[in-house]
Structure 1
């Protein structure tokens, strides 16, 4: 009589980290919440938050042209620093500068042959959609604008989550950071 023994090796389910290890794994979320609390001025006007929201798709657009997802971690602070300085100089309206910069980036993308890349075209469409929403926000009653700005930030948070899930265009850590930050700003706009 032949007997066969089946041996199974059970692998325990991986344990979720707790405490500091979890914070290290979710560092983009922690950084976004800190940035939302300390980096986004609580007294920022709806106009300022609208312009900041219009810069969000710009970061993705530039990163798509560069074709290097991790570059977004350089594009982000450089873009916001440039916006802050140009806004302080108040020579040209920031929305005009954002639109002009986006147009230059699209032309650069076209010259680099990105018009055949669907991912780049999605970023162009995103820039156009969020830019149009931003212009509408600047044109309507301030009370309505506050909710439209909140919706724009929230929708960009969804945009981030889709990119995070698809591992597309920007580094996943940035997509997580941006999603959490965007949703936090949207919630703050509605609650304050």
Structure 2
């Protein structure tokens, strides 16, 4: 291999990892203005909500659209000074009811697991808001790392959501969780 051919082979390998790079970018931006780990609880709540929504729809390819819509909605509500938590919680309850009514629990294990995952990860994010900054931050960090484990399982199984989003989410969740712990100590 000549020196001139090395970059052309490297670029496609890097381009193939765009979800990892995007996750690193989002995590870095999120941790740059870190003050309180509780404030990042919305990330794990949205992750669980997006996974649940995708499972209810039964179409893994819709996950990026759900991610974009939910992220834009969060930013817009935040900029307008509107508390997004009531809407998020209402959305989660609605999706759980739709999922249960639609037989989501009779789906393959990873798909069915999105109902309890929403309850656990979403509940942790909401509970963290009621705790002290340090305790709440550690709870959010644990939930993010726990969701990163789920991301790995979903990525490996090629189920529930598109693999690209699972890869993005596993990087984002793990780095945010570890970052919260490191910055809180």
TM-score range for the pair, normalised by the shorter chain length: 0.7 to 0.9
Structure 2: gaps of 5 or more residues: 1-7
1:153 equivalent in alignment to 2:144: yes
Matches within 5 A, 1:101-120: 101-118=91-108, 119-120=110-111
The alpha-carbon deviation at position 58 of structure 1 amounts to: 0.2
Cα separation, partners in 2 of 1:26 and 1:37, compared to 1, 3 Å:
same
Deviation at 1:111, TM superposition (A): 4.7
The match for 2:49 among 39, 44, 58 is: 58
Which position in structure 2 is the counterpart of 1:87? Answer: 78
Task: Quote how far apart the aligned CAs of 1:83 are.
Answer: 2.1
Task: Tell me, yes or no, if structure 1 residue 28 matches structure 2 residue 19.
Answer: yes
SS in 1 for 2:113: helix
Query: 85, 99, 111: which one pairs with 2:89?
Result: 99
Unaligned runs of 5+ in 1: 1-16
Matched, 1:128 2:119: yes
CA distance in 1, matches of 2:28, 2:132: 27
Once residues 18 and 181 of structure 1 are traced to their aligned partners in structure 2, the CA distance between those partners, rounded to angstroms, is: 26
The counterpart of 2:38, out of the listed 29, 47, 57, is 47
TM-score by structure 2 length? 0.83
How many residues in Structure 1 have an aligned counterpart in Structure 2?
174
* Further displaced range: 170-179 or 19-28: 19-28
Identify if the C-alpha distance between structure 1 residues 27 and 21 changes in structure 2 by more than 3 Å, giving closer, same or farther: same
Deviation, structure 1 residue 153? 1.0
Partner in structure 2 of residue 138 of structure 1: 129
1:165 aligned to which of 143, 156, 160 = 156
Q: Select between 132-141 and 71-80 the one with higher mean Cα deviation.
A: 132-141
Higher RCO structure, 1 or 2 (CA under 8 Å, sep 6+): 2
Provide, for residues 156-183 of structure 1, a one-character-per-residue CA deviation record: whole Å limited to 9, x for no partner.
Answer: 1111001111111001111111101111
2:148/2:171 contact within 8 Å kept: yes
- Tell me the alpha carbon deviations over residues 97-153 of structure 1, each in whole angstroms, 9 at most, x when there is no partner: 211001122233345443532444311110001122112211222112222211111
- Say whether the 8 Å CA contact 1:51–1:94 is kept in structure 2: no
Residue matched to 1:7: none
1:186 aligned partner: 177
1:63-111 C-alpha deviation (Å, 9 max, x unpaired): 11111111111110111111222334444x4332211001122233345
1:5 counterpart residue number: none
- CA RMSD for the aligned pairs? 2.1
Q: TM-score when scaled to structure 1? A: 0.80
* Structure with the largest fraction of helix: 2
